[in-house]
Structure 1
Amino acid sequence: MSLDRSFRWRALDPEGLEHCHVTTTSKDTRVRGAIITLQHGLFYRLKLDETGHVRTVRLERADGKVLELFSDGAGNWSDDRAEPLPELRGCIDVDISATPLTNSLPLWRCDWIIDQPQRFTMAWIDADAMSVQRHEQVYTRLDDTRFRFQSVGDGFERIITVDADGLVLDYPGLFVRTD
């Protein structure tokens, strides 16, 4: 995958707008995004290594709240004070609640076979609370443009539609791409 372009989504619940830019090189992938909702304004940055593993995450809200996380790419995490976060051990990807962009992270990194589910342990970030917790998710490729997303333990499930680059076009009830 090679990207150097911007994407925009409209959030449906709660209402909001997002603009992000994804740049990939042979060394890494960098994502910068800005989200405006009725509750807050949020800027986020992600850096992935050459294998697609998340290495740094930074969220900063307009009210000054900041969440910064670092990973060694092998599932070991620390916070901005270099304090280990053992509850996130084994998480390779992040899922930020306020953006569909992070749904692309496991899609980009993995090989996919139709109707074969793959389970992921995510560092799930609640953008409202600016907190992070471990979360299990399952993705199943249904065809060239659709994946079933399942949140383990709470029964949440959606069929998300993606483009040829694995970026969300439609996440029913939550996000729709506008670019």
Structure 2
Amino acid sequence: MSEPWWTLARWGIVTAWTLLAVFGGDPVVRWVFRWAGAMSPQTPKAPERDTSVLGPTEDAAAIAAGADLGEAGPLPGPGIVAVPEAERLSPIEAAGARLRGGRAIGWLERLGASATLLAGFPAGIAAIVAVKGLARYPDLRAADGTAERFILGTFTSLLIGAAGAGAAHWCLGLLS
């Protein structure tokens, strides 16, 4: 069948499944991160304290000297340990701060996986993983859950991209 509408229908099917895999995969990857984070041990939270009351003498002295503490608020008092927000998360969730650009990289990864499979070049997935691994290598050496987040995100994205390509291929087979 070489009619123009048939060609447009094929391109529409491929485009729809690819876009669904690329952008629809985002919530799935985030769910996998939350699921994995729930399975890993949580870092204990620091005791909450009322920051509207000045406790430490350093804060009072700083304000008396005219210093603006800004959004940071008062300094933690003796015996109170301030824990940054990133440390209150699971290691998988906290590693997201180290792996910047993950969403856009995930989109490109799923697009590349779908495109290479639809083009009949599955070895392209190896190239995608190699480039991503080399680019992220310095970040992956940290022992804070970064490597686990990288592996979870990569595998999930590749599976979603492959599923989108497989669904498009299946639909095209139904129409031929």
Larger radius of gyration: 2
Q: TM-score range by the shorter chain?
A: under 0.3
Scaled by the length of structure 1, the TM-score of the pair is 0.23
The structure with the largest strand share of the pair is: 1
**Structure number with higher relative contact order (C-alpha < 8 Å, ≥ 6 residues apart):** 2
Scaled by the length of structure 2, the TM-score of the pair is 0.23
The structure with the largest helix share of the pair is: 2
